[in-house]
């Protein structure tokens, strides 16, 4: 069985020539546009195996407000760091971006 991975390109959520992805509302819109809530259900039903975040090398950072807007409620509902990383894959992001997601996931989970 081939792995069914849903890729989400964060690059499309930057404004114009910006090097950073910002804004809680932007993150919330990204969550809706990517249908993240539906993807979580598909993951739980074994229809997909991972949700992988990718971005262009032109992106230098993802600001906490964007991550919180996109993932806060979802990560809170999952409630477990290990399970969050079973569902979401940040491995194709730069180390800096991975660290930004790690820090915000820890913050959401109160770690």
Which residues lie below 8 Å from residue 91, measured CB to CB, with a gap of 6+?
52, 98
Q: Would the CA dihedral through 23, 91, 48, 8 be positive or negative?
A: positive
Q: Which domain holds residue 47?
A: 5-108
Q: What average pLDDT does the structure give for the chain?
A: 95
Cα–Cα dist 111/107, whole Å = 6
Domain count, the chain: 1
Token pair, residue 79, equals 């409630």
pLDDT in the model for residue 3? 72
Its pTM stands at: 0.93
> Is residue 2's pLDDT more than 90?
no
């Amino acid at each position: 069985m081939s792995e069914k991975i849903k890729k989400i390109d964060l690059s499309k959520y930057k404004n114009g020539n910006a090097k950073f992805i910002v804004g809680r509302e932007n993150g919330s819109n990204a969550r809706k546009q990517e249908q993240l809530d539906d993807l979580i259900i598909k993951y739980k039903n074994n229809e997909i195996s991972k949700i992988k975040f990718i971005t262009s090398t032109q992106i230098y950072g993802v600001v906490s407000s964007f991550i919180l807007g996109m993932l806060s409620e979802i990560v809170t509902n999952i409630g477990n760091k290990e399970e969050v990383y079973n569902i979401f894959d940040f491995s194709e992001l730069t180390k800096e971006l991975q660290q930004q997601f790690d820090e915000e996931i820890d913050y959401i989970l109160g770690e």
